[in-house]
């Protein structure tokens, strides 16, 4: 199974909670980003490889304020999810319509920003899943500066390495370490099957204890 097939299957069959539960079972209990990073369209779901970008607050206009930002976005590869780390900036509107458009055309599956974004109506019309802490209609110029990319970043309280797999939906964003992707996927798919059987039998009137003892999920 290639990455595109994997991520399409994850987006259609899995959800953040079951992936988080699976990582818990494997002893990785700090893989969910902070609860204030949400999709701008509630039903958006995204899965892909982490493409990390690091931005810092500044209080001056550099000579070439967008140089590293443009370089980073132009290096996006198919099936990546951009991870825009702003250190939870409240002044920097890192992400907007044009970066979303450029990333989508490079094959990205979405973007996660631990800060503020703008142009949300245009992004919604584009159909490019973006998650953020909120909105602010300011440009990044003179407020934030991309200083590096394809490096480990702390985003939403979780350390994200390039190539980790990101999954986000309305419940939150989970980071799957690259070395665990295959195992997490298989275990999560199995757990979804057991949860579906549990739900069906609960709807048939069986008790929670009966179905828990049978399937072991809650």
| Model pLDDT for residues 174-212, shown as the tens digit of each residue | 999 999 999 999 999 998 888 777 788 788 888 879 878
Predicted confidence at residue 202, as pLDDT, reads 82
Q: Is the pLDDT of residue 28 over 90?
A: yes
Predicted confidence at residue 2, as pLDDT, reads 96
Does 125 show up as a binding residue in the annotation? Answer: no
Q: Which of 32, 50, 31 is nearest to 108 (CA)?
A: 50
Does 23 show up as a binding residue in the annotation? Answer: no
Predicted confidence at residue 69, as pLDDT, reads 97
Question: What is the per-residue pLDDT across 110-126, written as a single tens digit (0 to 9) for each?
Answer: 999 999 999 999 999 99
The mean-pLDDT minimum among 4-18, 139-153, 174-188, 191-205 falls in: 191-205
Q: Is the pLDDT of residue 215 over 80?
A: no
Does 97 show up as a binding residue in the annotation? Answer: yes
123 Cβ neighbours under 8 A, 6+ residues apart: 40, 96, 97, 100, 117, 130
Say which CATH topology domain 3-177 has.
Glucose Oxidase; domain 1 (3.50.30)
Q: What average pLDDT is seen over the chain?
A: 95
Predicted confidence at residue 210, as pLDDT, reads 81
Residue 137, Ramachandran bin (φ over 0: left; ψ between -120 and 50: alpha; else beta) = alpha
Percent of the chain with pLDDT over 70: 99
Q: Is the dihedral of CA 184, 132, 142, 67 positive or negative?
A: positive
Does 118 show up as a binding residue in the annotation? Answer: yes
Mean pLDDT in residue range 104-114: 98
Percent of the chain with pLDDT over 90: 87
Does 54 show up as a binding residue in the annotation? Answer: no
User: Pairing relation of β-strands 172-176 and 144-149?
Assistant: unpaired
The domain ranges of the chain are 3-177, 185-215
Does 98 show up as a binding residue in the annotation? Answer: yes
The mean-pLDDT minimum among 71-85, 159-173, 204-218 falls in: 204-218
């Amino acid at each position: 199974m290639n990455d595109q097939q994997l991520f399409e299957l994850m987006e259609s069959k899995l959800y953040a909670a079951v992936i988080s539960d699976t990582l818990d079972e494997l002893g990785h209990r700090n893989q969910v980003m902070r609860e204030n990073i949400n999709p701008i369209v509630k039903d958006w779901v995204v899965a892909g490889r982490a493409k990390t970008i690091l931005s810092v607050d500044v209080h001056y206009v550099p000579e070439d304020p967008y140089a590293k930002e443009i370089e980073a976005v132009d290096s996006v590869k198919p099936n990546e999810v951009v991870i825009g780390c702003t250190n939870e900036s409240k002044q920097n509107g890192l992400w907007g319509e044009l970066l979303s458009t450029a990333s989508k055309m490079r094959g990205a599956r979405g973007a996660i920003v631990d800060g503020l974004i703008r142009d949300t109506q245009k992004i919604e019309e584009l159909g490019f899943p973006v998650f953020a802490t909120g909105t602010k209609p300011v440009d990044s110029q003179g407020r934030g500066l991309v200083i590096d990319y394809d490096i480990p970043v702390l985003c939403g309280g979780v350390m994200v390495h390039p190539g980790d797999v990101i999954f986000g939906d309305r419940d939150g964003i989970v980071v799957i370490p690259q070395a665990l992707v295959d195992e997490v996927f298989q275990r999560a798919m199995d757990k979804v099957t057991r949860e579906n059987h549990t739900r069906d039998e609960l709807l048939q009137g069986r008790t929670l204890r009966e179905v828990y003892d049978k399937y072991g999920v809650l």
